Each structure stands twice: as structure tokens, then as C-alpha cells.
Amino acid sequence: MPRWDWLIVGAGFTGAVLAERIASQLDQSVLVIDRRGHIAGNAYDSPENGLLVHRYGPHIFHTNSERVWTYLSRFTTWRPYFHHVLGMVDGRHVPIPFNLNSILALFPPRMADRLCETLVDRFGFGQKVPILKLRAEADSELRFLADYVYANVFEGYTLKQWGMRPEDLAPSVTARVPVFVSRDDRYFQDRYQAMPRDGYTALFKRLLDHPRITVELNTEYKDAAPAVRHDRTVFTGPIDEFFDFAEGPLPYRSIRFERRREARTDGLPVGTVNYPNEFDFTRISDQRHLSGRPDAEPLLITEYPEPYTLGVNEPYYPIPSTATADLLNRYLTTAATLEGRVFFAGRLGDYAYYNMDQACARALALFEKRIAPLAAGGLAACQTERNLIAFSG
Ligand SMILES: Cc1cc2nc3c(=O)[nH]c(=O)nc-3n(C[C@H](O)[C@H](O)[C@H](O)COP(=O)(O)OP(=O)(O)OC[C@H]3O[C@@H](n4cnc5c(N)ncnc54)[C@H](O)[C@@H]3O)c2cc1C
């Protein structure tokens, strides 16, 4: 039976980047397993009717990290893509994040001009203001705007998406979609915004295409680990599941994705339309835009957020909040005792709300700061051992 230097659990961004680094930089053998029947984790896409369909919801690559961009560019070329999101507010489609154009579209002209001016004067043009910060403003016009945006854009969406009110989530979550004092209608403003030209799955195939890497799909960690001879583990699944929920379960949010082909309609005008107030779903995305094929037949994916239940659906989102910080810390403390033998990383392994570039950056940093030095230490130890043998011989 073969012996592996590393067992990596999860073939998403975190697991695949670490496998590539360990194999190519340390020349060590890696077995990557995933309980799903495909690589690429939540970024998985597959061709259908000329589109690249994102099975787990729209995935737009965006980053300010030149390092991550340069690293991933070795495994893919890119198609520039600027994601646009509209929100259905008071019966109109307005840009999300809520910005100066949204104000101009929703309020009577003189009132809209005054609100825009007050916002620019208070925060400066181009600034992003978290909604909870805007709500704390004393100025009566800003308070009016803040209450309007809170009630019409944030409150209902957050309740549907998280099952919680904005105030009960970690501020980092609500700050992800700020009020934007700008007329830039793009959803992201990062320096690099693009889609892998041949899709994410093709990018992952290239990441994992190394003679020292073996991939086994439909393989559950708990079933496989006892039979797989390996020295060290990287675990990118849920950290509480690894420890058999010894401290209690961490909360996650799941989503049900519903797909519809719309041969007889024009589809959506942009990549995604949000519904903060109406219906049970949060948003609909049109895969034509994500695939760069606005001429193709629309393929709509609707997202219904739902509670996560082990064995029933997927833990897509950790729910960072002050209420779970202690529980998470207990798991992280136990995890630290395994350092050197088992490493936890990724959106589920770190229990952190990472975007793809952040998962990639975290994997690169883990490799450089912990894994590569460990291997160098191992080599040094081997050499010392060899020298001792030589002396004693
Ligand atoms: C609906 C949605 C939309 C998103 N949109 C964007 C976006 O537009 N832009 C962006 O940058 N990010 C987006 N993200 C976030 C992105 O998906 C994550 O940043 C990224 O997938 C994290 O990679 P990961 O490797 O840490 O985790 P994952 O991709 O979740 O990979 C973990 C893998 O581990 C496997 N696994 C877990 N437990 C076990 C086990 N016990 N045994 C075997 N295998 C196991 C899982 O099957 C999974 O394949 C989105 C996420 C969701 C849910």
C-alpha cells in the first residue's frame, strides 16, 4: 500500500493550492480527497448549452492581491468580467451596492440631489460606508437615508440570507455590502476582476496536474483516513466536524439552488438581481452574463437560503458573530495542539467568510510560514540523523 507525505481533505481552492505548492516546491507526495464527485469545491463549473454553469451559485473572481493574481495566472488565462447587481427596491431595479445612482433612481430629483450632496460632504466621494455606521449618524437627512436603505435594502435581505438581523452578525459581514458614495455601478472595485477563460474546473485541473498529486473523489475523510498511510494532514472541511462536534456544533447557513432555462424570455439585464423584500429567495443570477455569452439562451439560478442540517445540505457559509466566537476559539485551541501533524485552513477549516482570493492567499501563507519550514526542518533533521549515523559508523 502506498504511503503519502500528505493527505489533503478537500479539493477546493485551499486544498488544491496547498497540494500544488507541496508537490511542486517540496517534491512531496500528496493524496487529495473530496467527498464530492468533482474537484474545485464550491467554485465548480461545468459546460452546458455553450455556458459554463456555476453549480454552487455565481462565483466572480476579484482581488487586489497581485500575488494571488500572478500565482493563479500560471494556471489560467482570464476573461475580464465586471459583475453588476441590481436590487428590486420600491418596484425599481437600482444598483447594488446602493450608491448615488440608486438614490437618483429612487427619489424625486431635488431631494435626491440634496441627499447625494449631504453624503458626499459627510463621507467624501468614492468612500464606502457600512450601513450600521450610516445609521449612527446624527444628521436628520442622513438618518432618513440610512433608515430607508436599512429597511429596503439590508434588513429583509439579511433576514433571508442569514436568518438573523444585521445587528446580530459580525460587523465584517454587513460591511461586505456597504453604501457606496460613488456612481460606479460595479459590484466590486478590485484591481483584478475576471473569470478563468476556460472556467474554474479547468483551472483546478491544471493546479492538480502534477505527478506527485493523486486525487480521489467521492471519498469521505472519516472513512478513508484509517486506511490511508500518511504523515501529515491538511483539513479544509468543517473544523467542528473534524472533532466530532466535541464542543458543540458551529452554525452554518446553507442554500437551495433552483435552476430554470428561460428560452422565451430575455433573461436578466445583468449578472444578478437581488430581492431584498419580496419572495423567499434572495437573488437570481443569469449564467449567460457570467459566461460572457449575453446572446445565449438565459439560464437562471435562484438562491433560497435555508438552515444547515448535517447530512442533509451543504455548510456553505460560516456565520461569524460574537455569539459563536467562544465556541470557535475552543476548536481553534484544540486544533493548535495538533500543529505540525494536522493543519486546518479554508472557509470551513478556519471557519472564516473567505472569498476565493482570500482562501488562495491563506493557503499560500500557510505553505510559506508553516509547511515549507516544517519540511525544511524535516530535511535538516534527516541530515543531522545521517551525520550522526556517519559519525557513529
Ligand atoms: C453561493 C456562494 C457564492 C460565492 N461567490 C463568490 C464570489 O463571487 N467570489 C468569491 O471570491 N468567492 C465566492 N464564494 C466563496 C468561495 O466559494 C470560497 O471562498 C471558496 O470556495 C473557499 O475554498 P475552500 O477550499 O476553503 O472551500 P470549499 O470550496 O468549500 O472546498 C472544501 C471542500 O472540502 C470538501 N470536504 C469537506 N469536508 C470533507 C470531508 N470530511 N471529507 C472529504 N471532503 C470534504 C468539500 O466537499 C469541498 O469540496 C461564494 C460562496 C458561495 C457559497
State whether residue 78 is helix, strand or coil: strand
Q: What is the pLDDT of residues 206-240, one digit of tens each?
A: 999 999 999 999 999 999 999 999 999 999 999 99
Give, using CA atoms, the residue closest to atom 4 of ligand 1: 59
Average pLDDT, integer, range 338-354: 96
Residue type for position 41: G
- Please give the distance, rounded to the nearest whole angstrom, from the Cα atom of residue 157 to the centre of ligand 1: 22
Question: Dihedral (C-alpha) 159, 165, 166, 167: value to the nearest 10 degrees?
Answer: 180
Give, using CA atoms, the residue closest to atom 3 of ligand 1: 57
Q: What is the pTM of this model?
A: 0.94
Closest atom, ligand 1, to C-alpha of 357: 11
Query: Burial level of 140, CB count in 10 A (0-12/13-18/19+)?
Result: exposed
Average pLDDT, integer, range 35-58: 96
Average pLDDT, integer, range 275-284: 97
Asked if residues 145 and 119 have their Cβ atoms less than 8 Å apart, the reply is yes
* Portion of the chain with pLDDT greater than 90, in percent: 87
**CB under 6 Å to ligand 1: residues?**
9-15, 33-36, 41-43, 56-60, 220-221, 236-237, 255, 316, 346-348, 354-357, 359
Count of Cβ atoms closer than 10 Å to residue 77 Cβ:
10
3-81+196-248+318-384: CATH class: alpha beta
Regarding predicted confidence, which is higher, 275 or 169? 275
Interatomic CA distance for residues 281 and 301, integer angstroms? 11
- Please give the distance, rounded to the nearest whole angstrom, from the Cα atom of residue 351 to the centre of ligand 1: 11
Interatomic CA distance for residues 214 and 241, integer angstroms? 24
Q: Which of 31, 52, 56, 59 to mutate to test the pocket of ligand 1 (most atoms within 8 A of CB)?
A: 59
Interatomic CA distance for residues 145 and 117, integer angstroms? 12
- The DSSP 8-state label assigned to residue 288 in this structure reads H
CA distances from residue 365 to 11, 150, 352, 360, 362 in whole angstroms, order as listed = 18, 37, 15, 9, 5
Closest atom, ligand 1, to C-alpha of 42: 29
- The DSSP 8-state label assigned to residue 269 in this structure reads S
Average pLDDT, integer, range 293-310: 95
CA angle 296, 297, 298 (to 5 degrees): 110
pLDDT of res. 15: 99
- Please give the distance, rounded to the nearest whole angstrom, from the Cα atom of residue 348 to the centre of ligand 1: 8
- Sign of the dihedral defined by the CA atoms of residues 325, 352, 66, 370, in that order: positive
Reported in sequence order, the residue ranges of 75-228 that DSSP labels E, i.e. its strands, are 78-80, 85-89, 92-96, 128-129, 179-180, 192-196, 213-216
Going by DSSP bridges, is the β-strand pair 272-274/85-89 parallel, antiparallel, or unpaired? parallel
- Strands across the sheet containing 61-63: 61-63, 192-196, 78-80
Average pLDDT, integer, range 264-282: 93
pLDDT of res. 378: 59
- Please give the distance, rounded to the nearest whole angstrom, from the Cα atom of residue 317 to the centre of ligand 1: 9
- Please give the distance, rounded to the nearest whole angstrom, from the Cα atom of residue 41 to the centre of ligand 1: 5
Average pLDDT, integer, range 27-33: 98
pLDDT of res. 383: 40
- Please give the distance, rounded to the nearest whole angstrom, from the Cα atom of residue 308 to the centre of ligand 1: 15
Confidence of residue 194 (pLDDT cuts 50, 70, 90): very high
> Residue 327 above 70 pLDDT?
yes
- Sign of the dihedral defined by the CA atoms of residues 173, 177, 182, 188, in that order: positive
Reported in sequence order, the residue ranges of the chain that DSSP labels E, i.e. its strands, are 3-9, 30-33, 45-48, 51-54, 61-63, 78-80, 85-89, 92-96, 128-129, 179-180, 192-196, 213-216, 229-235, 252-261, 272-274, 283-286, 299-307, 317-318, 342-344
Residue ranges of domains in the chain = 3-81+196-248+318-384, 96-180
What mean pLDDT value characterizes the chain? Answer: 93
Count of Cβ atoms closer than 10 Å to residue 387 Cβ:
10
Residue 255: strand pairing partners: 305
- CA atoms within 13 A of residue 101's CA, in its CB half-sphere: 15
Interatomic CA distance for residues 9 and 242, integer angstroms? 11
